[in-house]
Structure 1
Amino acid sequence: MKKFIVIMLLIAAPASAEKLSLDAVSSYFNAMTSAEAAFIQNSDDGNQSSGRMYIKRPGRIRFEYDPPNLALVVVGGGQVAVFDPKANSEPTRFPLNQTPLSLVLERNVDLARRDMVVAHTSDGPRTLITLQDPDRPEYGFIQLVFTDNPVQLHQWIVDDNSGSKTQIVLGDWTQGHKMPSILFNIQAEMQRRAN
């Protein structure tokens, strides 16, 4: 009888999830044309911010922060612009290819063929993939955390190689709706703020 109960418990227990393949994750990004999600950002210093993220692939992403933060990050045209509402100056700008985020905003993401995956593990229900540009390791790395069924990006952690880490947790995903390109136009945002 004990043996029967053990067998029934094993049959009834959910199978542990296998980690997602690199091809499955690449396909997930390549199928994404546009997406919107709520985010919560946690910094090493204990600060927490929230807001909405907008993605229009390839190469464009926007982070609108909720009050009291009111910061804005716009990625478009190969540039990253960080708008600080407390400063009366132009945004801080730098090339997208100097950030680990560029690896998932590429036109054709193919993680299995690029020499950028430095770790690929699973902690049960989640798959964790750590990416670093081998040509620019000094720019840090990004760890992506995915859930399965359906495949979805749940969070990422950026390490800028200076000892600072930022975690973004995503929720309330919607995908595939039309999104105006002006959301990702840095010059247009600068003009709007100047008026």
Structure 2
Amino acid sequence: MTTVKNLFRKPVTAAIVGSLALAVPASLAVPAQTAIAQSQTDQLDRATRALRAITTMRADFTQTDRAGNVVAGELTLKNPGKIRFEYSDDVNMLVVSNGRSLTLVDYDVNQVERWPISDSPLGALLDPNRDMRRYGRVVEARSGAISIEVADPSRPEFGTIRLIFVESGGAPGGLELTSWVALDAQNERTTVRLRNHRYGMSVSDSEFRYRDPRRSTRRPG
């Protein structure tokens, strides 16, 4: 259960990694740095467009914490801002966003936690108003893959998330989100990996609602 909560809890620590230094002659430093910055901006914009181009998506996921504990389930995404993590039957928990707030429902203890999308580590994925140029940076770009890290340096408690994309002709925008890594307040790393992506299906808004366990002990179907 800790594996699930580590990813979605509000108080997380931002790990802002310094910019990579490039060893070039002084006479070439400014043009080279300008070119690198422009290239990274282009890659960041491309990844952002790919995220925003998703209308609906379903994918199988596995979620792994630092200790190697793994839980699995199905993710459903509907832009803007809606997401549902439906865990396997042995994890009596649900995580869902209705486009405004992210809610974690723990049916074992009949507890509900809720916070604004923008305060979650998943804000970069869910919040359409998140300025990726302001809060994001490319940490790796190689043939066929892009890795971007998103964090607000002025609000480290809102966390850091690293999104990894790979080239895919079948994905909106030509890039497929294959995994992400979040860091929590205890410096615990949680990794989510996606597979079996499906796009463009009809998804009802009712999938992003939940039954409040404080009023009922039954888990939503």
Q: Could you state the TM-score of these two structures normalised by the residue count of structure 2? A: 0.70
Give the CA deviation at 1:192: 10
What is the identity, as a one-letter code, of the residue corresponding to 1:26? T
- Cα distance, 1:123–1:44 mapped onto 2, change above 3 Å: farther
Q: Is the Cα contact below 8 Å between 2:138 and 2:146 reproduced in 1?
A: no
Structure number with the bigger relative contact order (C-alpha 8 A, sep ≥ 6) is 2
CA distance in 2, matches of 1:96, 1:118: 20
Say which SS state the counterpart of residue 207 (structure 2) adopts: helix
Give the CA deviation at 1:108: 5.3
Which aligned pairs between 1:176-191 and structure 2 lie closer than 5 A? Answer: 176-186=200-210, 189-190=211-212
Give the CA deviation at 1:123: 5.2
Give the CA deviation at 1:156: 0.3
Question: What is aligned with 1:115?
Answer: 134
Number of aligned pairs? 173
Larger CA deviation: 130-139 vs 168-177: 130-139
What is the identity, as a one-letter code, of the residue corresponding to 1:67? D
CA distance in 2, matches of 1:149, 1:56: 20
What is the identity, as a one-letter code, of the residue corresponding to 1:22? L
Question: What is aligned with 2:195?
Answer: 171
Larger radius of gyration: 1
Ranges of 4+ aligned residues in structure 1 off by more than 3 Å: none
Which aligned pairs between 1:10-89 and structure 2 lie closer than 5 A? Answer: 21-87=43-109, 89=110
Larger CA deviation: 33-42 vs 127-136: 127-136
- Cα distance, 1:173–1:192 mapped onto 2, change above 3 Å: farther
List gaps (5 residues or longer) in structure 1.
Answer: 1-17
Asked if 1:138 corresponds to 2:157, the answer is yes
RMSD between aligned residues: 2.4
Taking every aligned residue pair, what percent have the same amino acid on both sides?
Answer: 29
List gaps (5 residues or longer) in structure 2.
Answer: 1-38, 170-174
Question: What is aligned with 2:113?
Answer: 92
